[in-house]
Structure 1
Amino acid sequence: MEAIKKRPARGMDVDLIHGPIFRNLLWFAVPIFISNLFQQLYNAADTMIVGNVLGDSALAAVGACGSIYELLVGFGLGIGNGLAIVTARAFGAEDYKRVRQSVAWSMIIGIVASLIITAVGMLFLHPLLVLLDTPTEILEDAYSYISVIALFVLVMFAYNLCAALLRAIGNSVMPLVFLVFSSCLNVGLDILFITRFNMGVAGAAVATVIAQAVSVVLCILYILKKTEILVPRREHFAYDRGLVKELVGQGLSMGLMSSIVSAGSVILQYGINGLGTLVIAGHTAARKLFALTDMPVMAISMAAATFVSQNRGASQPQRVRQGMRQTFLFCIGTAVVMSLLMLVSARWLVGLVSGSSEPVVLDNGAAYLIWNAPFYSVLGILLATRYALQSLGQKVLPLISSGIEFVGKILFVLFFIPRFEYMAVILCEPIIWCFMCAQLLYVYFRDPFIRSASAAPEKAES
């Protein structure tokens, strides 16, 4: 262990290992929620500007490659989150040498993975869009958007890794600060590139990349000046086989989990693309709104990942179990609130985001949101449990849930969407989430660390 013997000064960090569980977990989750919200807002800004300025066809072009975007970027982001789990466990164990070593090798692994993703993406993007039956009239616009994203996967990965490392030591505030600034920049660049420079849908992608790059620069400058514990020195780049194996295993596990889910979304997109341009446009708007309104359960799940990682490192199983129980209750409450919201405002929200007055766009988008909202409880429990299992060191069993989702979406595309059309799209994910959630909870309650909580004395504060 390094010369640093004391835990570094907390500053903006939240102590997830000591003190009241739900209060600290919620306090840690709030900046993550706002950060995710702003990230989705500037994604929604792309959609609103594209839909309102360029029309339904351009909006459909962005939507048609949305699942490929998730596949490309999601794999890199999953790797970054997996790498940060190792850092959080080392931080919880107060092994600060290992914290810096994990940062050093996370950088190396991340750069290599991002370059591979970019190379593969640039080779296969256009053929994949054709294979997915993307309508001919929007094919080139879709390619112009997604090719820019693929070319700069490294930028997306770098921001996510920096933010994840800061959260690994309990700091969820500064990633938010940087993202708010870049979100405002993204909206301004969207307007500039699309309306003034006439760059079309590609302008939205360029704006997103530039905004993410600004976030990366700000994060790196902050880490260098304020978080010495995350700044590796030359000796921390020395090869440590055990650490590198753990990082690669944890990173690939989360990356594969994300990519399997995204591959399922690509297959589902194939079924949606066959339903026509207006249906694609309505689904695109609804998915953007879904990504905004599920932010509370996403944020608490991400907070739970760091919480579980640190307390796993600190060997506090009872505290982990209490924190997860409170996370589950939060997700159920969120589902109730969102269900009421969608009942009264879903159609208006779809119209606002899409800029469309077409009944097909508005009705389908609203139906998607109304049917999905009650299942936010299942989704939140699913995500929190999956992240928790990854944080506990499980690498294979959480992947089974992704396999369930992948197979389920194939079955819906083959058998249900051709018969029931968009209604099958609406019900696809909620039904699959229920099966995934059951499998993950079974694995979670059988995990040796979690089961040891029942024999541990009641120490954790609630």
Structure 2
Amino acid sequence: MEEPAAPHHGRPGQRDLTTGPIGSALLMFALPTLASNVLQSLNGSINAIWVGRFLGERALAATSNANIIMFLMFSAVFGFGMAATIIVGQSWGRRDVDAARRAFGSAIGLVLAASIVVAALGWTFAPEILAALATPAEAFQPALDYLRVIFLALPASMLLVLMFMGLRGTGDSVTPLWFMALCVVIDAGMNPLLIAGYGPFPRMGIAGSATATLIANIVALAALVAWIRWRDLPLRLKGAELRYILPSSALVRMILGKGLPIGAQMLVLSTSALAMVGLVNRNGIDTVAAYGIVQQLWGYVQMPAMAIGAAVSAMAAQNIGAGRWDRVTRITRSGLLYNVAITGVAVALVLTFDTAIIGLFIPITSPALPIAQDISLIATWGFIMFGGTMVLFGVVRANGAVWGPLAILTISMFPVRFGVAVALTPLLGPDALWWSFPAGSAVNVALAALYYRYGPWRAGKLLVPEEHCEERSRADIEPGGGLKPAT
């Protein structure tokens, strides 16, 4: 097997995140990720505009309920990908390319299998799930039509996200941007064609929007796989390396051990969101539609925090793998400062231009518009605190600490957020639901800061399966042995 080039040489879009100025490296890594996240949110917003304009508030409310459920399904398998990405980042930091490929291949196998199972269960039990959410009767059938097609897209969309995460773990945040753009162009472009049945396309209504998403994810995934192989990117699997998709028992234990708590964090978020949807649904179709629109706005507001958190996590993982603990604290500080500045600007823009932005989704005379403005004014600023949590959790997870963030998130979402929503509703009415968001975020970031400062996360070991260490040890003493880390 050929000896790879050092990870920081000759690869388009990649960055060595273990040397050089931290602030500029963090920003240059985060910007393509931010652009990718903005494109993803823009795609959802454009699709919501098509649905709202062509099919009205009833269909828009249906997609809002269905998208929350998809986030729940996504959460069930997302943790495996995040765990593998941490291993990829640490391996890349210590120049162990073979370990990165093993982790990447293992994640592909696990995520593919899990997403197929989840998609099948979701398709089967979609009516029961919507009923449990108290989905309004007038939105039930559109939501079911939309949701079942979206479930078919889950395996392709999960693998696409996984590959994006793996590439970022090696310092490449540019390649995911181009293929996210491809996915968005196809999805947004095909939405009106399949909803309204223009030209040779069938008129599918709300199911057409979901079908456009399905096609876009499959095409983008196939194109990305072809690109990785053609450009021979470091995480490509070929020849004997294809067996990495059937993971070893050690890697399975490691990915499951770290991935299940991370997935549980996502499940806490999504079940909290589902509980909130259940409360929102009891306030009528206009409030449901308004909440769905504001969620579109929040998608943009949280994108800087998500991008900075991903950049911080990738940088921290590589530096931990390289033994550069002196840089980890500085990475955290830079991430927090960037979050306040960039997320703060996003919040200010959304609150300043809320009428014009909300008016893109529904007519200016719609009764849902003032409700959406009220929700945005009360809750949007809390995403600055959310961003601080993303940075702190990103750093501690980079060293494999997953149980502390899970406990913190559980406390802030249920005893705090859901408790505030229920307890204050008799006093504030529907506004209690919106105030629960900044209340939960405040507790979340406070506990995350305490865990970062005093928690035991720094004592964690590098994520290297024992059997891989044994293989590497034999290779080091056997002439012509296995792949050695580049230096």
Equivalence map 1:12-31=2 (5 Å): 12-31=13-32
Q: Which runs of 5+ in 1 are unaligned?
A: 453-462
CA deviations on 1:202-254 (whole Å, 9 max, x unpaired) are 11111112112222112111211224421234255375433322222222222
Q: Residue 312 of structure 2 is aligned with which of 277, 299, 304? A: 304
CA deviations on 1:228-281 (whole Å, 9 max, x unpaired) are 421234255375433322222222222221111101100110000001001111
* Preserved contact between residue 130 and residue 140 of structure 2 (Cα < 8 Å): yes
SS in 2 for 1:133: coil
2:210 maps to amino acid? A
Q: Which moved more, 1:374-383 or 1:267-276?
A: 374-383
Distance 1:199 1:81 in 2: 35
Matched, 1:215 2:220: yes
Matched, 1:234 2:240: yes
Change in Cα spacing, 1:2 to 1:93, as seen in structure 2 (3 Å) is farther
Q: Which residue of 1 aligns with 2:119?
A: 118
Q: For residue 64 of structure 1, report the CA deviation from its aligned partner.
A: 2.2
* TM-score when normalising by structure 2: 0.88
* Preserved contact between residue 331 and residue 381 of structure 1 (Cα < 8 Å): yes
Q: Which residue of 2 aligns with 1:456?
A: none
Q: For residue 21 of structure 1, report the CA deviation from its aligned partner.
A: 0.4
Distance 1:11 1:21 in 2: 20
Equivalence map 1:237-386=2 (5 Å): 237=244, 240-352=248-360, 354-386=361-393
CA deviations on 1:1-54 (whole Å, 9 max, x unpaired) are 984373353432122111110101110111111111111111111110011111
Q: Which moved more, 1:254-263 or 1:75-84?
A: 75-84
Matched, 1:224 2:225: no
SS in 1 for 2:359: helix
1:320 maps to amino acid? V
Q: Which residue of 1 aligns with 2:4?
A: 4
Matched, 1:46 2:47: yes
Q: Which moved more, 1:218-227 or 1:308-317?
A: 218-227
Distance 2:234 2:338 in 1: 32
Q: Residue 414 of structure 1 is aligned with which of 403, 419, 422? A: 422
SS in 1 for 2:333: helix
* Preserved contact between residue 396 and residue 458 of structure 2 (Cα < 8 Å): no
Change in Cα spacing, 1:361 to 1:373, as seen in structure 2 (3 Å) is same
* Preserved contact between residue 263 and residue 406 of structure 1 (Cα < 8 Å): no
Q: Which residue of 1 aligns with 2:408?
A: 401
CA deviations on 1:302-333 (whole Å, 9 max, x unpaired) are 11111111111111122111011111111112
1:209 maps to amino acid? L
Change in Cα spacing, 1:241 to 1:447, as seen in structure 2 (3 Å) is farther
Q: For residue 426 of structure 1, report the CA deviation from its aligned partner.
A: 1.5
Q: Which moved more, 1:118-127 or 1:282-291?
A: 118-127
Q: For residue 334 of structure 1, report the CA deviation from its aligned partner.
A: 2.6
Q: Which moved more, 1:380-389 or 1:72-81?
A: 72-81
Q: For residue 448 of structure 1, report the CA deviation from its aligned partner.
A: 4.8
Distance 2:307 2:270 in 1: 19
Q: In angstroms, what is the RMSD of aligned CA positions?
A: 2.1
Q: Which residue of 1 aligns with 2:71?
A: 70
Change in Cα spacing, 1:300 to 1:192, as seen in structure 2 (3 Å) is same
Q: Which residue of 2 aligns with 1:154?
A: 155
Identity %: 26
Distance 2:319 2:18 in 1: 6
2:338 maps to amino acid? F
Q: Which residue of 2 aligns with 1:185?
A: 186
Q: Which runs of 5+ in 2 are unaligned?
A: 461-487
Distance 1:274 1:6 in 2: 57
Q: Give the aligned length.
A: 451
Q: Which residue of 2 aligns with 1:459?
A: none
SS in 1 for 2:402: coil
Matched, 1:206 2:206: no
Q: Which residue of 2 aligns with 1:437?
A: 445
Q: Which moved more, 1:17-26 or 1:69-78?
A: 69-78
SS in 2 for 1:394: coil
Q: For residue 409 of structure 1, report the CA deviation from its aligned partner.
A: 4.1
* Preserved contact between residue 396 and residue 457 of structure 2 (Cα < 8 Å): no
* Preserved contact between residue 304 and residue 342 of structure 2 (Cα < 8 Å): yes
* TM-score when normalising by structure 1: 0.92
Distance 1:418 1:58 in 2: 30
Q: Which residue of 2 aligns with 1:458?
A: none
